[in-house]
Amino acid sequence: MNAAFNGSIETYISPQTRAFLVRQHRLFIDGKWVEATDSGTMAVLDPATGRQIATAAAGGRGDIDLAVKAARRAFEQGPWRRTTTGDRGRLLWTLADLIEKHAEELAELDVLDEGSPYATVRNGYVADAIKHLRYYAGWATKINGQSVPVDNPNEWHVYTRREPVGVVGQIIPWNVPLLMAVWKISPALAAGCTIVLKPAEDTPLSAVRLGELVQEAGIPDGVLNIVTGDGSVGAALVEHPDVDKIAFTGSTATGKRIAQTAAGTLKRVSLELGGKSPIFVFPDADLKAVIPAAAGAVYLNSGQACTAGSRLYIHRKVHDEVVARITEYTKSLKLGHGLDRATDLGPLVSERQMNRVTGFLDEGRRDGATFVVGGERHGSEGFFVEPTVLTEVLDTMSIAREEIFGPVISAMRFDDDDDVEALVRRANATEYGLAASIWTSDVKLAHRMAHAIRAGVVWINGYNLFDPNLPFGGFKQSGWGREMGFDGLSLYTESKSVAVAL
């Protein structure tokens, strides 16, 4: 695999992946692999070449109904209801073992489907998925209620129970497909819910393979159902009256539509949406550490990450040096197919996404930003955009306000006159509130900023620490609720109070 990449993916994938790609893919409903009721299919593309690599089933409203019915049966009549919490934990652990056993294959599928470099997917995302499942496997046996001492405890014995929410619809985006699926299913399964999962149209493959592993792990029929298809399949899931909760990751626009539709049945909703996360670099920061971190904050996944650090605020004293070093770093990055082990940066997921990003770059050009490096589509095959550094960006430009979801750094300055309040105002002058990062050796300054910035996570002298035990989610229009940790589990439980008159 160390030989120079010759452009033919067949040479670079395992026999298992090769066999998977040519297979006829179906929907996973009630433990069976079935065709879409209207026999719909959709092409799956490799974004690095634009060529079709597989065909997936395209479900519809009727398939969602069948999947919800299966999930309801598995929830109400068993078998999930009758599975002990210990067995629930064991099944999650078994699934983690199977993902570990098939890690290379799963990584290859996401590389082919979404485009990220193999090492990032295998050692980052797939490894995280395994950790995540094992973490929530441990929670299955620890979902405690409380004994509640009410005002008149001699007359009442009162306690709470945490019960599973019920049938959950989970809708995931095309960035980091396997990990997104596992982030969603693990707390829901640990809590005792049953699931209908809707992967993104652009990246259905690893979810289908995950369904096969769920079956192999012995998770009972109907507990996890997977309906691949387009956005209308997601909408059908949100509208379905027998779904108790929707968990969604994706764009803020679609999140708002989901919240509106869900209001019709008042189903529970949790949302993990977009961001426009700021990074502040102070003159006393360790620039050696800043450069790869600030670049990585935007170039990870070619910028297609909700936490992308897309607003880079640099103190005037170090502005030119930071820009020069990030530019040098950017020029050293090799764009290419994710299966090529020399690749640093893959393509964007689709032609649509590529056009969206180049559209933002055109707006930046019109608005008068300076293009230091990058700024164009890369090559003519696949959906690549050059990693791009923009300077002289103003807070008011669309490139500084909107989620670009591409490899684009918008650098801005601040000065000695800007006190903490002024910087925090700038950080918070966005409808988003997902993440932020502060680079300084001044501990007081770092914590004052961290407390005042309205974002779900603040990293100090670092970026993108994710951990299954660390709550993650957004303030403001970046979302509702927190995933990971106990918070993530509680998204899938209802609290019930039981009072016994003594």
Q: Which of residues 184-243 bind ligand NAP (CB under 6 A)?
A: 198, 200-202, 230-231, 234-235, 238
Least distance (Å) from ligand NAP to the CB of residue 494?
Answer: 23
Which residue in the set 105, 128, 201, 202 belongs to the binding site for Mg ion (CB under 5 A)?
A: 202
Least distance (Å) from Mg ion to the CB of residue 405?
Answer: 15
- Decide: is 179 part of the binding site for ligand NAP (CB under 6 A): no
Least distance (Å) from Mg ion to the CB of residue 227?
Answer: 17
Q: How far apart are CA 414 and CA 322, in angstroms?
A: 13
Active-site residues, by number, are: 272, 306
Least distance (Å) from ligand NAP to the CB of residue 252?
Answer: 7
- Name the region of 250 (left: φ>0; alpha: ψ -120 to 50; beta: rest): left
Structure-token match 């046996």, residue found = 141
Given Mg ion, ligand NAP, none, residue 200, with its beta carbon under 5 to 8 Å by kind, binds ligand NAP
Tell me the C-alpha to C-alpha distance, in Å, between residue 135 and each of 129, 432, 463, 467. 10, 29, 22, 10
- Decide: is 403 part of the binding site for ligand NAP (CB under 6 A): yes
CA triple 173-385-368, angle to 5 deg: 110
CA triple 440-442-445, angle to 5 deg: 95
Please give the backbone phi and psi of residue 240, each rounded to the nearest 5 degrees, phi first. Answer: -60, 125
Q: Which of residues 44-63 bind Mg ion (CB under 5 A)?
A: 45
Q: Which stretch binds ligand NAP (CB under 6 A): 123-131, 151-159, 171-179, 339-347?
A: 171-179
Structure-token match 């005037």, residue found = 316
Grouping H, G, I as helix, E, B as strand and the rest as coil, residue 247 is strand
- Decide: is 113 part of the binding site for ligand NAP (CB under 6 A): no
Query: Where are the strands (E) in 250-336, listed by range?
Result: 268-272, 278-281, 311-315
Q: How far apart are CA 405 and CA 353, in angstroms?
A: 8
Given ligand NAP, Mg ion, none, residue 273, with its beta carbon under 5 to 8 Å by kind, binds ligand NAP
Q: Which of residues 306-325 bind ligand NAP (CB under 6 A)?
A: 306
Which residue in the set 61, 73, 90, 356 belongs to the binding site for ligand NAP (CB under 6 A)?
A: 356
Which CB atom, from 228 or from 391, has the smaller least distance to ligand NAP?
A: 228
Q: Which of residues 360-379 bind ligand NAP (CB under 6 A)?
A: none
Amino acid, single-letter form, for residue 494:
E
Least distance (Å) from ligand NAP to the CB of residue 257?
Answer: 5
Tell me the C-alpha to C-alpha distance, in Å, between residue 454 and each of 193, 196, 430, 464. 32, 33, 10, 17
Which CB atom, from 383 or from 459, has the smaller least distance to Mg ion?
A: 383
Least distance (Å) from ligand NAP to the CB of residue 175?
Answer: 5
Grouping H, G, I as helix, E, B as strand and the rest as coil, residue 281 is strand
Which CB atom, from 201 or from 340, has the smaller least distance to ligand NAP?
A: 201
Least distance (Å) from Mg ion to the CB of residue 237?
Answer: 21
- Decide: is 473 part of the binding site for ligand NAP (CB under 6 A): no
- Decide: is 250 part of the binding site for ligand NAP (CB under 6 A): yes
Q: Which stretch binds ligand NAP (CB under 6 A): 9-17, 247-255, 290-298, 311-319?
A: 247-255
Q: What angle do helix axes 177-191 and 205-217 make, rounded to 10 degrees?
A: 40
Nearest Cα neighbor of 85 from 30, 132, 144 is 144
Which residue in the set 173, 303, 309, 456 belongs to the binding site for ligand NAP (CB under 6 A)?
A: 173
Grouping H, G, I as helix, E, B as strand and the rest as coil, residue 63 is helix
3-state helix, strand, coil in the chain (%, to 5): 40, 20, 40
Given ligand NAP, Mg ion, none, residue 391, with its beta carbon under 5 to 8 Å by kind, binds none
Nearest Cα neighbor of 404 from 434, 349, 444, 359 is 359
- Decide: is 67 part of the binding site for ligand NAP (CB under 6 A): no
The answer to whether residues 199 and 177 touch, using CB atoms and an 8 Å cutoff, is yes
Lay out the site mask for ligand NAP across 334-353 (x = CB under 6 A, - = otherwise).
-------------------x
Task: Please report, as ranges, the residues that interact with Mg ion according to CB under 5 A.
Answer: 45, 113, 202
Task: Please report, as ranges, the residues that interact with ligand NAP according to CB under 6 A.
Answer: 171-175, 198, 200-202, 230-231, 234-235, 238, 249-251, 254, 257-258, 273-274, 306, 353, 356, 403, 405
